Copies of this chain bind each other. A is one copy, B any other.
Amino acid sequence: MKACGLVVEYNPFHNGHVLHARESRENTGADVVVAVMSGPFLQRGEPAIVSKWARAEMALRGGIDLVIELPYAFATQKAEIFAKGSISLLEYLGCDSFCFGSEDGRIEPFITAHKILSDNSVAFDAAIKSAMDAGNSYPTSASLAFQSIIQNDDVLDLTKPNNILGKEYVSVALKNSFSIQPYTIQRVAAGYHETQLSSESIASATGIRKAIMEQKQELEPVAGYIPQSTRIGLEHYLSTYRTLHDWEMYWPMLKYRILSSSLMELAEIYEIEEGIEHRFKEMAKQATTFADFMAAMKTKRYTWTRLQRMCVHIFTHTLKRKMIHHDLPSYIRLLGMNARGQEYLRTVKKDLPVPLISKLSAYQKHGIETDLRAAQVYALGLPEPYQASLMKREYESPIIIK
């Protein structure tokens, strides 16, 4: 069986994702589509609007055959680490290819970009550093540095968010001499950061989330942009747990954690650097909502995303000393599969280089603690008495859809 891997967040699974899965299958000639999906907290430093279990189920009902979890240690991270975790897991699972959406749409510029940058890594790093020293954020600096090295017009545009991610995916595969082959398809209609619902049936997940949240978790306005199965999944989540998740529901706990921790303790949290713990404490004292807090925290030096990721690490209490050892993922956590996914898993199971975790209670090894804690604090956003029932899901078997 030929397998194609996708790197996803599905927050929530929408029509664009259906298209991505279908085109990936067609372009790569795959029999099975595997998604490596972030857990409760996402790359841009946000809680997912519904649990990973609900998102995995929507994905399975929307055309994905097998869903595994990208561990927390890779999910809430800058592109480089995020890519390392996700592409490695797809390689571990024996995928023949991976296929990502990009603004560019051609795979060659990604390969070229990787080669040029790895041949000029010293100059590239120096250019990034000098751009950052001039007060730019990391993404802006990386893009400026890339432009300064490449004097060719027909080159990958590294100011575009999906190109940035894609370039990292390709780099991971090439650098590690993985057998997995990179593919890309052009993203249609909706930009990554676009918040307006414009196209007829495709909208960005950001736009869909914004519309749902602004309409007080009303799904009607987004019905045209999500498959029926996603709508049912979201409705089921709302009727089971009474709410979707956003940062505001965690704000009282985050504020409490910031204000009850010493500066030294905050400085032990992953990604808290350069004395920013002082600013966290100062701003948390005054802010009454998460939105207020972020607006007060924002400076030119720190991107919104980077600050939000710091918030996630504080909230999940993820310490620097617990994160430094993560090189490549050390386990594969199975979230769900359909019959085809199950069949595929049977064929690759015996060759997996790391343990496959399909039931948590059977796997108490060190390393998955961080994921468990993330799941636990994510559940604390729900009203009582639903917290324990969401957490209980964590210890059950993966979702199986026949």
A265, chain B: closest CB distance, angstroms: 8
Residues of B within 8 A of A255 (CB): 380
Contacts of A369 on B, CB cut-off 8 Å?
262
- Asked if A256 and B384 make an inter-chain contact with CB atoms under 8 angstroms apart, the answer reads no
Contact of A252 among B259, B316, B317, B380 (CB under 8 A): B380
What B residues does A317 contact at CB under 8 A?
Answer: 260-261
For the A-B complex with A252-B253, A260-B377 known, give 8 more contacts whose Cβ atoms are closer than 8 Å.
Answer: A256-B256, A256-B377, A259-B377, A260-B316, A260-B373, A261-B317, A288-B384, A288-B387
Chain A 365-401: CB-based contact to B (< 8 A → 1; otherwise 0) = 0000100010011001000110110010000000000
Identify which of B253, B262, B385 contacts A253 (C-beta below 8 A).
B253
Kindly state whether residue A289 has any CB partner on chain B within 8 Å: yes
In whole Å, how far is A255's beta carbon from the nearest beta carbon of chain B?
7
Give A contacts to B, CB under 8 Å: 252-253, 255-257, 259-262, 285-286, 288-289, 315-317, 369, 373, 376-377, 380, 384-385, 387-388, 391
Q: How far is the CA of A289 from the CA of B384 in the complex (A)?
A: 8
Q: Is the CB of B257 within 8 A of A260?
A: yes
The distance from the CB of A135 to the nearest CB of chain B, in whole angstroms, is: 31
Looking at the assembled complex, report how far the CB atom of A48 sits from the nearest CB atom of chain B, in whole angstroms.
18
Which residues of B are found within 8 Å of A289, using beta-carbon distances?
384
Tell me how far the C-beta of A267 lies from the nearest C-beta in chain B, rounded to whole angstroms.
Answer: 15
Q: Which chain B positions have C-beta within 8 A of A384?
A: 288-289
Q: In the complex, what distance in Å separates the CA atom of A26 from the CA atom of B316?
A: 57
7 A-B residue contacts at CB 8 Å?
A253-B253, A255-B380, A256-B380, A259-B380, A286-B388, A288-B385, A289-B384
Roughly how many angstroms separate A391 CA and B282 CA in the complex, as a whole number?
13
Closest to A253 in B: B256
A388 to B377, CA, bound (A): 25
A301 CB to nearest B CB, Å? 26
- Report Cα–Cα, A315/B388, bound state, in Å: 21
A260 touches B385 (CB 8 A): no
Residues of B within 8 A of A285 (CB): 376, 388, 391
Contact pick for A376, options B259, B316, B387, CB 8 Å: B259
User: Which residue of chain B is the closest to A261 with respect to CB atoms?
Assistant: B317
Bound: A289/B383 CA distance, A: 11
Cα distance A356–B318 in the bound complex, in angstroms? 40
Inter-chain contact B376/A260, CB cutoff 8 Å: yes
A370 to chain B, nearest CB (A): 11
Asked if A256 and B259 make an inter-chain contact with CB atoms under 8 angstroms apart, the answer reads no
Instruction: For residue A58, give the distance in angstroms from its CB to the closest CB of chain B.
Output: 27
What is the chain B residue whose CB lies nearest that of A255? B380
Residues of chain B lying within 8 A (CB to CB) of residue A261 = 317
**B-side contacts of A252, CB under 8 Å:** 252-253, 380
Of chain B, the residue at the smallest CB distance from A392 is B285
CA distance A373 to B255 in the complex (A): 13
A256 to B376, CA, bound (A): 9
- Nearest Cβ distance between residue A343 and chain B, in whole angstroms? 36
- Sorted nearest first, the 7 A-B pairs with minimum C-beta distance are A288-B384, A253-B256, A260-B317, A288-B385, A259-B376, A260-B377, A256-B380
For A387, give the chain B residue with the smallest CB separation: B288
> What is the bound-complex CA distance between A252 and B251, given in angstroms?
12
In the bound assembly, the distance between CA atoms of A97 and B275 in angstroms comes to: 50
Q: Closest B residue to A369 by CB, please name it.
A: B262
| Interchain CA distance A373-B265 in the complex, whole Å | 14
Chain B's closest residue to A385 (CB) is B288
